[in-house]
Amino acid sequence: MSIPGIPGLGQSAPVATSSAPVTVATTAIHELAPNSEWRFEVAIGQSIEVRVLSGTAEIFGTELALNHTYTFHGTKSSIYTWHGTRLEVTGSCEEYIAEETPMIAYVNTHFALEKLRQQAQQDGKEGPRVLVVGPSNSGKTSLMKLLTSYAIRMGRQPLVVNTDSREGLLSIPGCLTATAFASIVDVEQGWGSSPTSGPSPVPVKLPLCYYYGLASPEDNTKLFKPVLTRLALAATSRMAEDSNVKESGMLIDTPGVISQGKGGYDIISHIVSEFSVNTILVLGSERLYSDMQRKFSTYRTSNSEAITLVRLDKSGGCVDRDDTYMQKSREAAIKEYFFGDVKRTLSPHTQQVDFDSLTIYKIRETNNMYAAFLPGGQEEAEPEAESLYEAVEPTSQMQHCLLAVMYASLNDSQEAIRDASVMGFVYVADVDDKKRRVRLLSPVNTRIADRPLILGSWPEPTMSLMG
């Protein structure tokens, strides 16, 4: 999820260490000193090629092979070296070299978790269940990748959980997922690829996927919490089935919005409770760390374990990702889901379906902000079960939207549909109101009329994929 031979890249001139990126082009050789990091930003729609000529280098804990060409598309990332390295970079990007990083603290965190895994292996118990919290753009996902990659390099198989519906992990945004990582993280693909992505030199991952369909947990907490609970049940069941996953434990990513206000702390508590979290990593916020200490200092998990809190500094390489960049990233992810990428071309299937053959449910959004204006201590009335979704017919407003195809029956209750996993997604290419027919794009040729379809507001309607 290109560079000319300029001063400051291991040549005679001093290395630039400021956080202001410099736009560069063509091809260049980068000489990185030990314990330094080359940070780069590639615009959406552009790409660069990177090759390690000598030394050792890694991206978020995954070591790069010597003399292998890696291609990066529309991303903001960094390459770190413990012992020094020499890189060849081709393409246009913004880049700079940083000599101060929090990598020592991050790798120490990994070794502390590894010690807990060794203890769990000896005792036949579950490994650490780690929750990563922090404000938006504080580097939570990057830290998750690093801890996951280091665990894999130690022979572990951590269960990686994503509770941030704004970004997808091996799935389209709008989903909550859990995936056991037993093989290397594909540095070019972000987290790697799932079976829908087609053939890959790196083994695909098999995510447990549940659909929330809204941008923020606070958009509808009465929907988010049950979906999260179902994800936690599936994740804990997965751990119980595999001793390697059980000993390796969980790494849980969270949306930044729940770390930026008191309202989100209730959701953090829900995650801690449902996943039996026993370690919380607080990234980039002293106030949040203080709040978490007050909230969980006396808390005990279902196994009577105390919660360990660790505060970590935000990396200087973390940059704000504006709305335009994030929207383009989502559009690229959706396009790749249906059509593949430059290395793997997919052939999606188009089908015409009658209005009457489809069962579509639209997610009802609730505005929780009004709860603050209710009389002292009063809570909103609990909605009835049928208010989870609203049955709707296709309309022209659905054009360019995604529909989640659920592993459920048309006769199932709305709660059963909510708790079902996601079979896949279809794209509404065209709606003909006069003929009452819908043209749908799906990754494979399969029958979808016998499954309930869910329409959410996230991800938002994308550009036309059929142009």
DSSP string, 237-304: HHHHH-HHHHHH-EEEE--GGGGSSHHHHHHHHHHHHHTT--EEEEES-HHHHHHHHHHHTT-B-TTS
Phi and psi torsions of 22, nearest 5°: -120, 130
Q: What is the share, in percent, of the chain residues with pLDDT greater than 70?
A: 87
DSSP state letter for 434? T
Q: What is the share, in percent, of the chain residues with pLDDT greater than 90?
A: 68
Q: Which residue has the higher pLDDT, 200 or 282?
A: 282
Mean pLDDT of 185-198: 70
Lowest mean pLDDT among 96-100, 129-133, 160-164, 197-201: 197-201
Examine the pLDDT at 381 and tell me if it is beyond 70: no
Q: Which residues of 250-259 are buried (b: 16+ CB within 10 A; e: fewer)?
A: bbbbbbbbbb
CATH class of the domain comprising 27-98: mainly beta
Domain ranges, ordered by start, for the chain: 27-98, 102-312, 324-369+387-455
pLDDT at 189: 80
Q: Which residue has the higher pLDDT, 169 or 113?
A: 113
Tens digit of pLDDT for each residue in 176-191? 999 999 888 888 887 8
pTM across the whole model: 0.88
Q: Is position 138 annotated in a ligand binding site?
A: yes
Query: Could you give the residue ranges of the DSSP H alpha helices within 313-425?
Result: 323-339, 414-419
3-state SS assignment for residue 19: coil
Q: Is position 140 annotated in a ligand binding site?
A: yes
pLDDT at 466: 77
Mean pLDDT of 434-460: 92
Examine the pLDDT at 292 and tell me if it is beyond 50: yes
C-alpha distance across the termini of the chain, in Å: 24
pLDDT at 345: 82
Angle, alpha carbons 147-151-153 (nearest 5°): 120
Q: Is position 137 annotated in a ligand binding site?
A: yes
DSSP string, 28-57: EEEEEPTTEEEEEE--TT-EEEEEEEEE--
pLDDT at 373: 39
Specify the DSSP element, H or E, that contains 351. Answer: strand 349-354
Lowest mean pLDDT among 296-300, 432-436, 445-449: 445-449
pLDDT at 88: 97
pLDDT at 319: 77
Mean pLDDT of 251-257: 96
Mean pLDDT of 456-465: 87
pLDDT at 168: 87
Mean pLDDT of 303-309: 91
Q: Which residue has the higher pLDDT, 418 or 333?
A: 418
Tens digit of pLDDT for each residue in 22-45? 555 589 999 999 999 999 999 988
Confidence bin at 350 (pLDDT 50/70/90):
very high
Question: Sheet holding 308-312: strands in order across?
Answer: 208-211, 175-180, 159-162, 250-253, 129-133, 279-283, 308-312
Tens digit of pLDDT for each residue in 215-239? 999 999 999 999 999 999 999 999 9
Query: Nearest-CA neighbor of 113 among 299, 296, 252?
Result: 252
For residue 271, give Cα distances in angstroms to 137, 215, 234, 276, 417: 20, 17, 14, 8, 22
CA gyration radius for the chain?
Answer: 23
Confidence bin at 194 (pLDDT 50/70/90):
low
Compute, in degrees rounded to 10, the torsion defined by CA atoms 325, 404, 143, 199.
-90
Q: Is position 141 annotated in a ligand binding site?
A: yes
pLDDT at 25: 54
Q: Is position 142 annotated in a ligand binding site?
A: yes
Task: Tally Cβ neighbours within 10 Å of residue 23.
Answer: 11
Examine the pLDDT at 449 and tell me if it is beyond 70: yes
Domain 324-369+387-455 CATH assignment equals 2.40.30.330: yes
Which range in 13-27, 137-151, 290-304, 341-355 is most confidently predicted, on average pLDDT?
137-151
Examine the pLDDT at 367 and tell me if it is beyond 70: no
Examine the pLDDT at 197 and tell me if it is beyond 80: no
- Cis peptide upstream of residue 255 (ω within 30 degrees of 0): no
User: Tell me, which fold does domain 102-312 have in CATH?
Assistant: Rossmann fold (3.40.50)
Please give the mean pLDDT across all residues of the chain: 87
pLDDT at 346: 84
**Encoding tokens for residue 396?**
């022209």
pLDDT at 4: 36
| Helices 221-241 and 262-274: angle between axes, nearest 10 degrees | 30
pLDDT at 22: 59
For residues 239 and 246, what is the distance between their CA atoms, to the nearest angstrom? 5
Confidence bin at 129 (pLDDT 50/70/90):
very high
